Structure 1
Amino acid sequence: MTVPAAGRGTTTVAPRAVRRIAERAAAEALPDGGSVIRGSAAVRGATARIAVGVRLPYPLRADEAAQRIRERAETRTAALTGLSVPRAEVRVDALSVAAPPPVPEAEPGPPGDEGGSGPRIRAQRRVPATVLAAVGAAACGLLLVDVIAVRFGGAPAGWRTAVVDWAAAHGPADTAVRLAGVGAALVGAWLLGCALLPGLRRRLRMAAPAPEVRGALDRTAAARILRERALGVPGVVQARVSVRRRRARVRAGVGYGRPEEVRAEVVRVLGASLPELGLRRTPALRVRVRREPGRRTPETEVPEAADVPTVAGRPAAAAPWPTDVDRDGAEDGTQDGPRNSGEA
């Protein structure tokens, strides 16, 4: 027996289900970095109206992205619910800026390595540019004012006639003309140097993680960092550091301990600190240590209760003061502090 259509029952899709389907369908069309914030749906008979609020990544063409989301939401909602979706509303409620991808740190090469990318940072030359612009503007302004005055029937300015008369009376053999020419040549060479040379000699070029990134480190800052690391070595009580493009020189004063051992520790600590500066070219390290005057090593201090023969109020046959040593371990021939010979 055939049951009439009116008695077969009905299928009702709740607005909540329609809303979830619309949100899921809109999420399928979102670009990378986008998300669905909220959605709503209203069902009347066999018709449903849906609205979806989304967050889109920036930068992005919002109109094109919203068009794709709307078409996807209408098509999928109608296919999955069996309802007619005449219109879907898409609201762009927020824009989000995606975090930039992490940039890998540039690994500094060995000493002498000229790797890296990008030209050096050039000095802005503000003072030379300002002086040249001011002098040129003043000279051109005075000449222009005088030419306009003569054009309108006035007399030439006194300074212009004086300059012309002086130039007519003095030739290239005069001392004043030669000195003026030498001065003009020096000023021209200085201006050419300012225009062609990059400058910023006090800054060390850093390794660039990308071709469009350039960085520089001030030499004073690099020397201050190395000095703090050197003063942290046990036995070092004073340190002087100078950093150049190719070499870093360290002079350390030893207050206690054996200078050879202190120097080896300074070389180890600063050798590990130089790559941390991130320079494009790691400078070669040269370390020199010296005994600070008036200080003794623990090995040469005399115990109070010890019966040690003295000569002129000093212990006899005391160990000599160590000599300066550089990074290569060679003595430089100088000795610091008094030397006890033990002779009467």
Structure 2
Amino acid sequence: MKVDEDKTAESDVREFFASAEDVGERIDKWLVGKLPNFSRSRIQALVREGAVWSGGRILSNPGERIKADEAYRIIVPDAVPEPPRAQPIALNIVYEDAHLIVVDKPAGLVVHPGAGHSSGTLVNALIAHCGESLSAVGGPERQGIVHRLDKDTSGLLVVAKDDATHQGLAEQFVSHGLDGRLRRSYIALSWGEPDRNRGQIEANLGRSPQNRTKMAVVAPEEGRHAVTHYEVLRTFDAPSAPKLVSLMRLVLETGRTHQIRVHLAHIRHPVLGDPVYGSGFKASARRLGPAARTALERLGRQALHAAELAFEHPVTGEQLSFESPLPDDMVRLVECLEAGN
């Protein structure tokens, strides 16, 4: 499992102090004693996800030994009290067969139940649509979910109906297209114009030391390797600011939490409307024309869309390819930027 953006809503950080009697005990075993409602495997997963730290250092090895007089902190996810139930939520289904389903997810729809979102998610809608025909690899709250999109990112997402299909798709997402089977691209509106029209951003990502609910670029020896390829499709001028906004195509070589959003913010070209990683660009928003500024305010989210998804069908071996046009809210913003007003 990956740490995902739903954890940004989690604020339950527990702190435990080690005593002399605890020295030398494995961190996973020790934390199970502190959190008896969590299994040891769940604690191990949380450690590997970067949810445990001590002395400003993230612990990633569940077998690490406890040290005396140290404080250990862990982000404790809210438990889902019961399996998600079916809810009649409309789905934009792009493709479906006996093994998988491709959905064009609207912005605002959470992918699966979690902290602050016990219902009204894509999983609830999928249960209503598919009945019991969803893979169980990810557990009851993540039925069928192979990969994820942020709540406020729109676009294409593939769901597995059986475990074999889930495993076959997951293998492709792990390689992220390096073996030629999977292809994913995103369209984003970002502030400013990069120095080069094409390039790649390579920077490790991990939990922010200053704010554990956010992701950040971390030192090369820390976090997880992450690479994003980008291409500037066009730029837009504002009344008093040339090339204020870029329309970009982005391709993931890795799939880390908030990867595109953090990488673009890292090179000082964050996604328009991003409330977490682009909040320092309010002055840029004020330089937009009145119509574009209103369109951005009405967007109310990061201007990021999963526009292309292609993969090899795990059962038939057929290469499937899908494209999703920009949603209306992003189209309206682009139109206003084109008009320069």
TM-score (norm 2): 0.18
Higher relative contact order (CA closer than 8 Å, sequence separation 6+): 2
**Structure holding more strand per residue:** 2
Structure number with larger C-alpha Rg: 1
